[in-house]
Amino acid sequence: MDHDVHDVQKVRAFDHPGAGRKRAKATPKGRQVDPTAAHEIELLLGDRPRRRDLLIEHLHLIQDKYHQISAAHLAALADEMKLSFAEVFETATFYAHFDVVKEGEPDIAPLTIRVCDSLTCAMMGAEQLLQELQRGAGPEVRVVRAPCVGLCDVAPVAEVGHHYVFKATAPEVLATAARGEVHPEIPPYVDYDSYVKDGGYKLLGDLRAGRVSKEDILKALDDSSLRGLGGAGFPTGRKWRAVLGEPGPRLMAVNGDEGEPGTFKDRFYLLRDVHRFIEGTLIGAHIVDATDVYIYLRDEYPAALKVLPLELAKLPPGGPTIHVRRGAGAYICGEESSLLESIEGKRGLPRHKPPYPFQVGLFGLPTLINNIETLFWVRDIVEKGPSWWNSYGRNGRHGLRSYSVSGRVKNPGVKLAPAGLTVRELIDEFCGGMADGHTFHAYLPGGASGGILPASMDNIPLDFGTLEKYGCFIGSAAVIIMSEQDSVKDAALNLMKFFEDESCGQCTPCRVGTQKAAQLMQRPVWDRELLDQLSQAMRDASICGLGQAASNPLTSVIKYFPEEFVPREAAE
């Protein structure tokens, strides 16, 4: 005999203790949305789209408005965007610039002072500055450490709100805070009218009108051997051709998240000649028929984040849609696949490869990814010809490099110099020599992950492919100069702590490896065998370049500075 399904359910309902009793009134499950917070979020977002990829942008709105992000606001934002609370919470807590306040925790002070403690700032007294500010700041001010803010040439640096204090002293920083100077200072730059008056956008116009062909552009890039200047050094023309060879639609992403300690060249060009970069970007987008361009710019560049949208708004109609996306303090997002994840509004976790971004990139579409400086040189190379670019260079190398030089030199800064010059030539010819009272002792040829070399190895050409046999690389050409007054061992520890803090945590070799390496490096005597094994495991098994290269400074110290990692009393 067949029973109706509802009859069966009625029978089963009485098969447990307490069956037939009156049920308690149902209560809503999960986190409840506070009506006040919901209203505030609704007003804050206004008519902005509630798309998933805009989550980080919306989190910035909350942070900027309230100087923190409460659990109530997170819940309201999740409800407004039709996302789970967990999705919003894990994204907000991934990025250092979002101050998430959990339930029951006290509110954060209305003003935050960040003190950069990366290598160059540390060499210039950041630790003492931090301690003095912590002692002198009142209850309305929070003082915290910050990783590299891209101002290594004016170290040490403190950020008051979004206003930077160069070569900072504690009294000056506290006075800046007391005056309420919290907004970025905009330096003079070449605006749209000035750029056009000087011939700007003519090349782009000729390309769009067919007077210059795509092949003309690609051939110029190939003949110049322009390589990616963000660090990887991949041939630019070959990359553009690879993306063009994929079926459309296609997108373009610009990596402006130069978080490598010691690097600040992209900031330099953005705040002086922003339209030269924009024109290079639009040329690249036209070549690969990109419908949209996403410019991802690090949050540590508030002045550039003001200038770029202002100048983009002056462009005449036509061309791809350009989106400016704001980073949120995550070094890992300089890795190209992490960058794409962040643009999509998620945590910046590196993707497994293959597929590569030129095949399956942003929103699953073929994506051209270039660094800001790479795009900056496109117009000059095409207009002046590849022979102009290749006329520069030393020691058998070709082209120009923008070296970000900081540390113990008289005149630090961005130095546009021939590719392949040596560090000694860079110091003497472009930086005015060593700073007074300092003797050249060591240098980092490629930022935090590029290794450390002794001054005795000062005759190596600085370029792609010249440093690898020494366990180093040039990367984005961030050159940090150290003197006999600086400890190379302490520098390696500073860098390892940076990598430990910035590891995304996705893979064990990097997450645990950087932590264990930092612990081992704080011991009076380094266990060389154990550190070598740990370094090898990180290089072999980490998902992305952060973990793979994090041990380079460590292994450089062991290899080239044995007298520094063994205490003098132990050596005796």
CATH number for 125: 3.40.30.10
Residues 210 and 342 both lie in one domain: yes
Query: pLDDT-derived band of residue 563, with 50, 70 and 90 as boundaries?
Result: confident
Please check whether residue 105 lies inside any domain of the structure: no
pLDDT in tens, 314-333: 999 999 999 999 999 999 99
Residues 206 and 172 both lie in one domain: no
* Percent of residues, the chain, with pLDDT higher than 90: 91
* pLDDT value at 287 more than 60: yes
Question: Which residue's entry shows tokens 């007294």?
Answer: 125
In b/e form, how buried is each residue of 224-241, taking b as 16+ CB within 10 angstroms? bbbbbbbbbbebbbebbb
Please report which residue ranges of 210-301 form alpha helices under DSSP H: 214-224, 236-244, 265-270, 274-287
Mean pLDDT, residues 82-111: 95
Distance of CA 46 to CAs 39, 43, 98, 344, Å?
11, 5, 21, 21
Please check whether residue 501 lies inside any domain of the structure: yes
In a 13 Å sphere around the CA of 392, the CA atoms on its Cβ side amount to 20
Mean pLDDT, residues 344-348: 98
Mean pLDDT, residues 429-452: 97
Mean pLDDT, residues 274-283: 98
Measure CA 33 to chain center: 34
* The pLDDT of residue 564: 76
Type of residue at 415: K
In b/e form, how buried is each residue of 172-185, taking b as 16+ CB within 10 angstroms? ebbebbeeeeeebe
Helix 71-81 with 35-45: angle, nearest 10 deg: 60
User: 269 with 187: CB under 8 angstroms?
Assistant: no
Residues 359 and 406 both lie in one domain: no
* pLDDT value at 19 more than 80: no
∠ Cα 380 384 388 (to 5°)? 100
Final residue in a domain of this structure, among 486, 521, 542? 486
Please check whether residue 436 lies inside any domain of the structure: yes
Please check whether residue 87 lies inside any domain of the structure: no
Please check whether residue 13 lies inside any domain of the structure: no
Residues 281 and 339 both lie in one domain: yes
Residues 157 and 286 both lie in one domain: no
- Provide DSSP, 379-420: HHHHHH-HHHHHT--STT--SEEEEEEEESBSS-EEEEEETT
User: 544 with 338: CB under 8 angstroms?
Assistant: yes
* The pLDDT of residue 571: 42
User: 440 with 483: CB under 8 angstroms?
Assistant: yes
State the average pLDDT for the chain.
Answer: 93
Residues 141 and 250 both lie in one domain: no
Rounded Cα distance, 389 and 458, in Å = 25
**Preceding peptide of 354 cis, ω within 30°:** yes
Residues 328 and 210 both lie in one domain: yes
Query: pLDDT-derived band of residue 149, with 50, 70 and 90 as boundaries?
Result: very high
371: left (phi over 0), alpha (psi -120 to 50) or beta: beta
Rounded Cα distance, 424 and 453, in Å = 12
Mean pLDDT, residues 269-293: 98
* pLDDT value at 2 more than 70: no
CATH number for 533: 1.20.1440.230
Mean pLDDT, residues 103-116: 94
Residues 255 and 368 both lie in one domain: yes
Helices and strands of the chain, counted as H and E runs: 27, 15
Helix 528-541 with 508-521: angle, nearest 10 deg: 160
The answer to whether the predicted template modeling score (pTM) of the entire model surpasses 0.95 is no
* pLDDT value at 59 more than 50: yes
pLDDT in tens, 190-221: 999 999 999 999 999 999 999 999 999 999 99
pLDDT in tens, 156-174: 999 999 999 999 999 999 9
Rounded Cα distance, 268 and 152, in Å = 12
Please check whether residue 514 lies inside any domain of the structure: yes
* The pLDDT of residue 200: 98
Type of residue at 309: P
pLDDT in tens, 487-501: 999 999 999 999 999
* pLDDT value at 278 more than 80: yes
Residues 233 and 318 both lie in one domain: yes
Question: Which residue's entry shows tokens 């070296």?
Answer: 403
Final residue in a domain of this structure, among 342, 360, 384? 384
Please check whether residue 15 lies inside any domain of the structure: no
Mean pLDDT, residues 440-449: 97
Rounded Cα distance, 121 and 480, in Å = 11
Rounded Cα distance, 521 and 68, in Å = 35
* pLDDT value at 412 more than 80: yes
Residues 276 and 172 both lie in one domain: no
* The pLDDT of residue 16: 41
Range of the domain at 436: 400-486
* pLDDT value at 467 more than 60: yes
Residues 263 and 344 both lie in one domain: yes
Rounded Cα distance, 462 and 404, in Å = 12
Residues 307 and 205 both lie in one domain: yes
Rounded Cα distance, 34 and 26, in Å = 19
User: 329 with 359: CB under 8 angstroms?
Assistant: no
Please check whether residue 172 lies inside any domain of the structure: yes
CATH number for 423: 3.10.20.600
In a 13 Å sphere around the CA of 467, the CA atoms on its Cβ side amount to 32
* The pLDDT of residue 215: 98
Cβ neighbours for 259, distance < 8 A, ≥ 6 positions apart: 147, 148, 150, 298, 300, 330, 331, 333, 334, 502
* Percent of residues, the chain, with pLDDT higher than 70: 93
* The pLDDT of residue 434: 98
User: 116 with 110: CB under 8 angstroms?
Assistant: no
Final residue in a domain of this structure, among 325, 358, 384? 384
**Domain total of the chain:** 4
